[in-house]
Amino acid sequence: MVFSSIIFILFFLPLFLGMYYLMPRVARNYVILAFSIIFFAWGAPDFLPYLIASCLVNFYLVRLIPISRTIRWKRVLVGLSVAMNLGLLAYFKYANFFLENLSFLRELAGSPALTWERIILPIGISFFTFQSITYSVDVYRKRHEPLKNPFYYLLYILMFPQLLAGPIIRFERIADQISKREETWENILYGFYRFILGLSKKILIADVLAVEVDRILSLSIPGIDMGSAWIAILAYTFQLYFDFSGYSDMAIGLGRMVGFRFPENFDNPYVAGSVTEFWRRWHITFSNFMRHYLYYPLGGNRVQTKRRLYFNLWLVFLVSGLWHGASWNFVLYGAFHGFFMVLERLFLSKIYHRIGKLLPILITFFVIVISRVFFRIESLPDAVAFIKVLFSFNDLPSLAPVNAHFYAILVLAVLFSFITLSRHGLRLQTWFYERTYSITEHKAMTWLYAILLVLSIASLTGQGFSPFIYFRF
């Protein structure tokens, strides 16, 4: 089940909200938990027992941390908790990758290839692993006391609005909201607005771009001309943004409908003037997680030598790339971004400062577009071959789509992505994301979002299952 589906919009969500607000306040968290279990079991019933069991073990393990008498035992307990969660992630997400590479090395050495039953990746495992780690580490760091109710801990991990693709919510930020939060009509209405905005991004923009991207990239790479290759990768760059930011908008909206305030996950990333700034704007909660739970423990910016600083940056981005997927493509994707982060620390930032505002944005966007090749094309040789096509200067776009609708949506995606570069565009975005409207504005917004909802549902009826891109991570 995905947010952008008829069954969720017309059946699951109304039933959930009806049950939630009909129940007394003391029972509402249990309603969220029950529906979250149903939501997860809908797509991965076989993994649900393992998930619940690991959550309960982690809950009782972390409860021992504050009452441990010595710092040594506290470290042992938090280490066990983190190791257990990372162990589950390593097994389900990276075992196939490890065995594939081991089998390849065996073949090079003249031994027979390995055979094994491939392990299926459970949906959302990366995101609930990270949230489990934030819980353990935040309790260890005394950011917040551990939860006393195991069902509340399950709620924190399994909450369906952000279970499958974030935002990654640090425990210290949401702990108090689990037991006490504000539920108002204004929040409910804002939540609906935000949900429909995200749905529109996904259905009316990302999915339209996806059709042509998939069509071009399904062809043999040597048969793709340079123009079509650029159209495909540019369209994919915007598809990925509107798909993932659309999911985040929907998750934030769903949370707000029941009183939760989830952190923002995107801040106009394509207007970034450097790769460093890009990662402050793209998948913000993931960047914050890597900063607080990996980069800072490594020493962050406080290390004694520049060499160690650059090593820390590169290591963080190698891990970030591998987190996105178990393949060498994603390792290279992370190394590519880390390489530019180091260059910016060495000299690029000084150059950017001298050449104005627009040129650094264009250079950064170009770097991001090239990196998307490794993100989209699963085979490393195919990704390298595709980059060669991008710079082959061979043909005009003979394979380019003739669909006017695609080009209209692509132009719209470009405008929306860069709208905040203008002062009026920034005001317009602020108005759309504003949380308090006058009565007149509420009427206008209600009509606007009603139209967007109807258009999205109408589009959904004419297309098949379309999961969010980040569900596979």
Residues catalogued as catalytic: 324
DSSP for residue 402: -
Instruction: Tell me the CA distances in angstroms from 282 to 2, 56, 345, one per residue in order.
Output: 22, 32, 19
CA distance 416 to 414: 6
**Pair 263, 169: CB distance under 8 Å:** yes
Find the DSSP H helices in 391-420. Answer: 404-418
Q: Tell me the C-alpha distance between 174 and 87, whole Å.
A: 25
Report the alpha-carbon distance of residue 188 to residue 259 in Å, rounded. Answer: 8
CB 86 within 8 A of CB 323: no
Number of C-beta neighbours around residue 427 at 10 A: 12
d(CA 199, CA 253): 10
Listed in sequence order, the DSSP H helices in 266-403 are: 275-281, 284-290, 306-324, 328-343, 349-354, 358-376, 380-390
Check if the beta carbon of residue 337 is closer than 8 Å to that of residue 287.
Answer: no
Sign of CA dihedral 74, 79, 82, 85: negative
Give the number of other Cβ atoms within 10 Å of residue 129's Cβ: 24
